[in-house]
């Protein structure tokens, strides 16, 4: 079983890197681009874990290490 965790900054938390990307896109002529937010994707090979246990286990990984819930949201996707 594999999992993909997508981590992004919460709304309202300043994302200077997203802003820099936004400005660069405007500079390239993509003027219609609005707010840009940058995040990260972490792919995990979970080994032999069961489908039932996987969500809670990955959630635990997210709260303990992968995401800082003071500033970040996370979304978990389980992949077969």
Partner 1 sequence: MKAAVIVFPGSNCDRDMKVAIEQSMGSTPAMVWHGDSELPETDLIAIPGGFSYGDYLRCGAIAGNSPIMREVVKKASEGVPVLAVCNGFQIATETGMLPGALLRNANQKFICKDVDLQVVGRNERFVGEFENGQIVRFPVAHHDGNFYADDETLARLEGEGQVAFRYADSDGNVNDATNINGSRNNIAGIYNEAGNILGLMPHPERLISEQLGGTDGKIFFDNLINSLS
C-alpha–C-alpha distance, residues 25 and 19, integer Å: 10
Nearest distance from residue 24's CB to partner 1, in Å?
Answer: 12
Q: Which parts of this chain interact with partner 1 (CB under 8 A)?
A: 12-14, 16-17, 20, 64-66, 68, 70-71
Nearest distance from residue 43's CB to partner 1, in Å?
Answer: 14
3-state secondary structure of 62: helix
Nearest distance from residue 64's CB to partner 1, in Å?
Answer: 7
> Terminus-to-terminus CA distance in the chain, angstroms?
5
Closest to partner 1 by CB, 68 vs 79, is 68
C-alpha–C-alpha distance, residues 26 and 22, integer Å: 6
């Amino acid at each position: 079983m594999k999992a993909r965790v997508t981590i992004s900054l919460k709304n309202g938390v300043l994302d200077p890197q997203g802003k820099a990307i936004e400005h660069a896109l405007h500079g390239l002529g993509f003027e219609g681009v609005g707010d840009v937010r940058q995040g990260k994707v972490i792919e995990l090979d979970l080994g032999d874990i069961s489908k039932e246990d996987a969500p809670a286990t990955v959630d635990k990984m997210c709260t303990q290490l992968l995401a800082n819930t003071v500033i970040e949201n996370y979304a978990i996707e389980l992949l077969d």
